[in-house]
Chains A and B, each alone.
Chain A
Amino acid sequence: MNEFGWFFVRRVLQGAVVVLGVTALVFVFTRLIGDPVAIMLPLEATEAERAQLRAYLGLDRSLGLQFLEFLRQLTVLEFGDSFWQRRPNVEIIVERLPWTLLLVGASMTLAVVLALPLGTIAALYPGRLPDRLTSFLSLAGLSIPLFWLGLMLIFLFAAKLQWLPSSGPGGLAHLVLPSVTLALPAAGRIAMLLRSTLIDELNAPYVRTAIAKGLPARRVITVHTFINAAVPVLTMIGWEVTRALAGYTIVVETVFAWPGLGLVAVQAIQRDDLVLVQAIVFVVAILVVAVNLLLDVAHRLIDPRVKL
């Protein structure tokens, strides 16, 4: 196997360690800190009912055995049944995951499409309007709570102007507000990073050499500096995607009643459906690890100097 193959295998193994770690974390939190039976059954449940549920969940066995069983079930993607919806958790996840992926995909595409020109122009003409806009967007993105941004957009575009539907699933029009809510702060952060990376690159000696050599400035910017700026920007985009998957979508989906994994996670928590929450956390962890893996591979392909 060549060097790249080994690199890939190593990253996959590291990813597996992360998933195992998250699984252990989930196990510790749900089994040791709290009592799943006490959470899932109503107060007036009899002792016999409690024992029955305990046996059903396998809680009457030793902790080590429980953890092994937990791992076994996860590796064969057997997530148990949802108490709340009375059907297999896998079914719920398969049904909801595409909605979340659609939302994250649309918003991240929008964020990148906004951020690339904004960040580039901001770097080329510091102090001008695009630069100010980038700074403002990124500062606002850091400071405005997502749920509030979403509600304000609903107020403006659904209540006042009545251009777009306020919430719920549906066609393209329904996708606009939630993805803009997710995209705006991310676009600000990506543009800001692109701006500062590009400024550093434009001041590097190799740019001066290229221009002195007589290359047109446009070519230097598009070919030379962009490739060097690509690595940190890609890392940032990947970071945004994982944050969106494991956090931001929960809030945005709740605001817009978007039927994705995040919304179902919040509803499961409100209904004390721990098994479903566990399954969702596990699936999201795998997604996050997969995104990071893709990112490392892309990173390696762009910059052959990377050793990991």
Chain B
Amino acid sequence: MSVAVTGVAPRRHRWRWRDQAAVIGLGLLALLVATAILAPELAPFDPTAISIRERLRPPVWLDGGSWRHPFGTDHLGRDVLSRVIFGTRVSLIAGVSVVAIAGVFGTVVGLVAGFVGGRFDALVMRWVEVHVAFPGLLLALLIIAVLDPSLLTVIIALSINGWMVFARLVRNIVLSTRALPYVEAAEVIGCRPPRVIFRHILPNLAAPVMTLAVLEFARVVLAEAALSFLGVGIQPPATSWGLDVAGGRNYLFNAWWLVTFPGLAITFTVLGVNFLASWLRVVFDPHEGEKRFARSVANRES
């Protein structure tokens, strides 16, 4: 059980597995983006086209299924595959917008709080504490109860819930980098605050903020799906994976494919993002990398 790292050992299986995970993650995400952009070309049908005569057709490999509807049709005869394809758009738009809004706002607040310090910092951090202590979904529900449910409302609610983690992370990094000799040196020789912030502090933020952004993207995709499932997110006739799962719920016992395929789409999307995030963490954090390396050596020896 002891760890003795002596000399330079070749990178072992643990590393290679991690890298494979990154490739899978990136692959899944690339597929997602391509699907979202090319949705009208890829989808065999209009996702909202109703055809009562063709309702509740099973997927192609079951009795009664055909290649016309590879994933079957729902209770209104809409093509499940086309709806899954178009659903990528909502997830992607919600994820990217929330991460952009919350990330930029949180980073700015964190930068200012960390740099200015004093009363502003204390106030912001207390607020962040309150907000983090009270986790999200219920608050998002409240916001949506006040505003009308729509994609925009979902983005607003999830952004309000998401900026604090960025602010806290950035503020802590600013505080620790500011104490480093090279930043002190820059301040001593008379660099103005903007130069210190943008030139000397900001580059240190890139890696951790990016890792957090990827993780937050996963959270947002899941949250949008949950809100839409509860009926307070995306509203019909728009298409969303969460909404489709909710719609197929009543047919679970005789038409399982309505719930299964959109759910799988959510799972694989979030899985891809999580693979990517865990790889980014190792790549950007030398300490974490060392730990993994030590562990892989330990595994080999035991």
Contact = CB atoms under 8 A, between A and B. Distances in A.
B271 A285 contact: no
A251 B252 contact: no
Contact of B299 (A18, A126, A159): A126
Contact of B245 (A139, A147, A292): A147
Contacts of B141: 250, 265-266, 269, 277
Contact of A33 (B147, B229, B298): B147
Interface in A10-36: 17-18, 21-22, 25-26, 29-30, 33-34
Given A143-B270, A281-B142, A251 B231 contact: no
A18 B133 contact: yes
11 contacts: A18-B129, A21-B127, A21-B130, A29-B142, A126-B299, A147-B229, A203-B1, A246-B138, A247-B138, A250-B141, A281-B139
B189 to A, nearest CB: 38
B218 A142 contact: yes
A274 B134 contact: no
Given A22-B130, A203-B1, A274 B230 contact: no
The 5 closest A-B pairs by CB, nearest first: A21-B130, A247-B137, A34-B146, A148-B263, A143-B270
B232 interface: yes
Contacts of A61: none
Contacts of B232: 266, 269-270
Contact of A288 (B126, B129, B134): B134
Interface string A28-56: 01100110000100000000000000000
A124 to B, nearest CB: 8
Nearest to A156: B256
A159 B252 contact: yes
Given A17-B126, A21-B127, A246-B135, A148 B245 contact: yes
Interface bracket on A: 35 or more
A272 B2 CA distance: 61
A106 B131 CA distance: 27
A215 B142 CA distance: 56
B249 A151 contact: yes
B146 A25 contact: no
Interface string A139-155: 10011111110011011
Nearest to B270: A143
A304 B133 CA distance: 24
Given A21-B130, A127-B299, A246-B134, A145 B263 contact: yes
A272 B142 CA distance: 10
Contacts of B249: 151
A120 interface: no
A251 B146 contact: no
Contact of B274 (A39, A143, A155, A243): A143
B138 A281 contact: yes
A251 B227 CA distance: 9
Nearest to A149: B263
A249 B137 CA distance: 10
A292 B135 CA distance: 12
Contacts of A270: 231-232
Nearest to B229: A147
